């Protein structure tokens, strides 16, 4: 889902992930479209900021990821971009999504590790396979 935010001068296109869309629509079912829209854009902005923070930290660990999300939240709170109650609801949603993303990241790393191990095993077996002599 793509959303356009216009602050009067600049047009910003925000790509809202299906996961964010689903979470916001579920968690904020009784809210106005404007509240949902703003919350979706906030979540996506925080996700991008948290990812940038985590990448700049070098080593991606669960603690690094969660700290990056916290720093992004604190930055937004410091700038007072939205009302406090909306931020708290959004923060809860972001924490849930961060945990879900972390689990997916761990699954991807495990799968990558399995693939590397399988590739190494196949390479070793190919290297040690008997060769026909000419």
Q: Domain ranges in the chain?
A: 2-128
- Predicted confidence at residue 84, as pLDDT, reads 67
Contact 69, 98 (CB under 8 A): yes
- Residue 130's pLDDT is 86
Is the backbone of residue 58 left (phi > 0), alpha (psi -120 to 50) or beta?
left
Inter-residue long-range contacts of 47-55, CB under 8 Å, 24+ positions, other chains counted: 47/17, 47/20, 47/94, 47/97, 47/101, 49/75, 50/98
54 vs 61: CA distance, rounded Å: 8
Q: Where are the beta strands (DSSP E) in 24-103?
A: none
DSSP type of residue 17? -
CA–CA dist 71, 74 (Å, integer) = 5
- Please give the chain's pLDDT, 134 residues, in tens: 544 444 444 555 668 888 888 888 888 888 888 888 888 888 888 778 777 766 665 656 777 777 777 887 777 666 655 566 777 787 888 888 888 888 888 888 888 888 889 888 888 888 888 888 76
Alpha carbon distance 39, 87 (integer Å):
8
């Amino acid at each position: 889902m793509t959303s356009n935010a216009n602050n009067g001068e600049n047009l910003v296109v925000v790509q809202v992930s299906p996961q964010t869309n689903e979470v916001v629509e579920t968690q904020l079912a009784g809210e106005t479209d404007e509240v949902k829209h703003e919350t979706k854009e906030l979540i996506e902005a925080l996700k991008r900021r948290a990812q940038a923070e985590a990448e700049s930290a070098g080593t991606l660990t669960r603690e690094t990821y969660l700290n990056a999300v916290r720093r992004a939240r604190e930055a937004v709170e410091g700038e007072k971009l939205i009302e406090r109650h909306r931020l708290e609801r959004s923060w809860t949603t972001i924490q849930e999504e961060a945990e879900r993303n972390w689990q997916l990241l761990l699954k991807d790393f495990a799968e990558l590790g399995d693939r590397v191990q399988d590739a190494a095993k196949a390479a070793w077996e190919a290297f040690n396979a008997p060769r026909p002599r000419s």
